[in-house]
Amino acid sequence: MPFDFGKLLRTHSSSLLTAAQQEEEHPHGAHKKKEYVFDKSDPIGRGGYSKVLKAKWKARDGKVVALKVVKKESIKNREEYLTIIDKGFPRINMHPNICAGLDWFETGHKYYVTFPMLTGGELLTRLNSRGRFTEDATKKVLRVILETLEFIHSQGIIHRDMKPDNWLYRTPDSEVDDIVLIDFGIAKVLDVQSDEDKLDQFEAGGTPGYAAPEIFCGTGYGKNSDLFGAGVITYNLLSSWSPWESRDVINLIQETARTTVNFPPEPFEGVSETAKAFVRLLMQPPQRRPSAKQALKHPWLAAPIVSVEQDHILEEHEIDSSSIIQLPSHHTLKPDHPIADQLTANPDADLGDLSIKDLVLEEPGVKEKYAASDHGSDSP
């Protein structure tokens, strides 16, 4: 579960119900659960409060699907969570690069959400296992990411957790850009479906290091907050590094707000200045950050792409398995280059009485950089 400062968990009396009582309280859920034949092998995915199970959906001719099972106690705002399922998914589930819920039901303690089965693994895993991508391969991936973001933003949805572990390959043999966006668990579903983008959202949430700084500044954020995470992903793919040095959650949030991204010579060997300019643009403050539609017109992405063969998507001379430490987190970690490995270990750290907004805004230059300001769809 990503770092989230949402509303306090609302407890329900159903937490003490027996299985029989739960079935009586949620007869529809009990009936729906019988539509699935669950695979008895280990879950295909796990989180702190959730797991993903493989199953056959009898109501759909035995179609193999993935069921995400989420403990209700982990959902800080259940009304908003169900809004994503009931209103958000129907808006976007026709898009070929989005893994949206096909069905859902609930029992006394859990939500079950049905998704298409994706077997190709995370974009992060491919990056960790093979090394950095070439520029052309990175461009192909970013075109899909931005086209997908352009679509969900036009449908009034902010993803809020844009990171390489939330892009999955469709199959193990998928081409480099055959990726699908997953995990809308903390997405924002707006009332208005349009290209207009206002900085009128204030609930903090997301993964530090990928979440846009304004999300934690309390100055308001909008759809183009997702573009910041896309910029960090671009940085990851071009170098197999993270742009950040901090390991502590608070320091990491502060670093993303105050730091101008830099490009160390060794990991960025051979990367063009146009590519670096693209990354810088996506990681600007919101008033200067483009929309997804505008970012797709950037000269780096607009330039022709040489055919990218599946076996040649990486710069092989950069791959040294001894220099890559595998992490079950959001980053590739190189020796002597600390990269926020605390995020997986404790993403929901208890911050006590600390005010994230004040801690971020007290950093030199941050208050001016992320001062509250509105912008529309025509912003540069």
Cα distances from 276 to residues 169, 207, 234, 362, in angstroms, run 25, 23, 9, 28
Backbone angles phi, psi at 154, to 5 degrees: -65, -20
Tell whether 40 is in a known binding site.
Answer: no
Which residues neighbour 47 within 8 Å (Cβ) at sequence distance 6 or greater?
A: 1
DSSP 31-77: HHHTTEEE--S--SEE-SSEEEEEEEEGGGTTEEEEEEEEEGGG-S-
Contact 169, 181 (CB under 8 A): no
Which residues neighbour 311 within 8 Å (Cβ) at sequence distance 6 or greater?
A: none
Task: Give the Cα separation of 224 and 377 in Å (integer).
Answer: 10
Compute the C-alpha angle 152/120/144, nearest 5°.
30
Strands (E), the chain: 36-38, 45-46, 50-57, 63-71, 103-106, 110-116, 157-158, 167-169, 179-181, 188-189
DSSP 82-96: HHIIIIIHHHHTTST
Element (H, E) at 288: none
Q: How far from the centroid of its chain's Cα atoms is residue 301's Cα?
A: 21
Task: Give the Cα separation of 309 and 306 in Å (integer).
Answer: 9
Name the catalytic one among 4, 161, 178, 183.
Answer: 161
Active site residue 311: no
Annotated binding site, which residues? 72
Annotated binding site for ATP, which residues? 72
Q: Give catalytic residue positions.
A: 161
